[in-house]
Structure 1
């Protein structure tokens, strides 16, 4: 059997941009859509290159156990010595921000002060650790910034927890995190392919925290954490000639955790201090921003996978 590139995922809308590039390069590939299925542990996997694009937000598309199935498939592939990109280490970080923060801190990368809690009473108690300062709640396992809310008081949090809008993380763990006040309402997302820096994107946050750059994730009527503010710049904008020492730290972090392809997000406070708060091992790219800059993430991934297939 001829070798192929195998794409492991659960969302065709996010994957079609990659398969289009693979078609352009005339590379053989097969999609493994793992919303359900089985793993025959006593059989050997096919030969080829395997790229995991499983998302932490799969449950929002009705694919509750896709990450668990994917973790099993990745363990099976790695056991048989297959070439896997974004394997078991990557998916363990994809589905847990607690795991992300511990791995980032282990590489000396600063993350916001965070408390993980299970249960409404514990969430309230955790908020007391912020001494009256603004804080954010977020899901430990989410994606696209789902579940992020900003609070200025424990009273407001209590009202939220008792209301109909509160929704637990799919794994039951809610994070209470210090709110980093940026001088301007934007964050920076750094993209990496083959563990190397590709480009950085300026992401406007004035409309809220659902920051997935994929075309399918452009959502209106978002919760606004920073007030009403007119913005004429595009929501996603590639930064020309971005340079910062954090890039070397990110590359070392990716190498240490065996992650080939990722988007890492950070925010700067008023003093210029960088806080890293999210690692996306199932990264997407914004078409408009890329066309304007002439840089294409999925094309670079396709080239990378093609080169690995020929090795």
Structure 2
């Protein structure tokens, strides 16, 4: 994946015993970009050059479990550990404060990282997935969203998801279902396929769904505290009007002002779905760039 993000320098971030491959581009205030499922840092290949051109240091990191070097020996994919990774990446980059941008799972992680370390976060940009606790509270009363979220229950089953990923194209199906009518970005798809060709990566990334919200996990009390904590960083939420994974209306509702006490803005981009930053990079990049510049302090 040497050409994963053209023009970006590849580097390795070490956090504890784990190593995370990252790509860096530009100079200036740091912007940490965190991808989701089923994806890789290639998802940021359109955004990073624009951030660098606008005077930012953009760094996209490969999340825990998406490569052999970041699969923990103890199998810890609890939410507290995943959030610790984000803070650890800032430490490894020597970034006292940074803007955070996340998509899908990455969106959840950057929000909770902001809750844990408010003094480290300049601003948040969250794409497609809103606050996990607010989403969970709203889900039972939204049957259309329950139907959209069928995959969450599927991915928690033993063995079957691994089989569907390896032999039946489940991950490509997700991309098409979540962004209807769009032909997925071939570079992002190729990067995903290469990562998930390793069965250990498939097992590890599925552990996000199987273990991250496990109330019996050894650090669940810490995770629960983060889920209920306010977020003080100014936050931009971006959703696609045609998102087949999380409805744009539920996304808006799941960014409540009582949680986002630093202020929040929510925009819905028409004509695009879950991978809005790849479907409409011009519109998404312009909105994100303007947001970062407005909050560059």
TM-score, scaled to structure 1: 0.37
Structure of larger gyration radius? 1
**More strand as a share of residues:** 1
TM-score, scaled to structure 2: 0.38
